[in-house]
Amino acid sequence: MTETSEQTSEWTLTAMDRCDSCSAQAYVHVKGISGELFFCGHHYNKANGDKLNSFAFEVIDERERLVENKLKGDDY
């Protein structure tokens, strides 16, 4: 008997979390020494650099959700 299991991910960001730059759905949450920032995938790519790395002590990156949702197809 072969058992198949689907890998499920538990996401912490919801559709209510919005990018601080453009108000799109946030897929990256950066916790820093003086506050928090939310980014869509595009603005995180633009902002990711030395300044952001010196600010951040925790980064929750859920951009892989974009790929996962695309793989589910049109019925999702």
Per-residue pLDDT of the chain (76 residues; tens, 9 = 90+): 444 445 556 889 999 999 999 999 999 999 998 999 999 999 999 998 888 888 999 999 999 988 776 676 665 4
Alpha-carbon span 61 to 48, nearest angstrom: 12
For residue 47, tell me if it sits in a domain: yes
Output the pTM of the full model.
0.76
Q: How many domains does the chain have?
A: 1
Give the chain's mean pLDDT: 84
For residue 23, tell me if it sits in a domain: no
Q: Residue 17 corresponds to which tokens in the numbers above?
A: 């979390």
For residue 18, tell me if it sits in a domain: no
Strands in 56-61's sheet, in edge-to-edge order, are: 35-39, 28-32, 56-61
Alpha-carbon span 50 to 48, nearest angstrom: 7
Q: Residue 21 corresponds to which tokens in the numbers above?
A: 């730059």
Taking every pair of Cα atoms in the chain, the longest distance, rounded to a whole number of angstroms, is 54
For residue 17, tell me if it sits in a domain: no
The parent domain of residue 41 ranges over 28-72
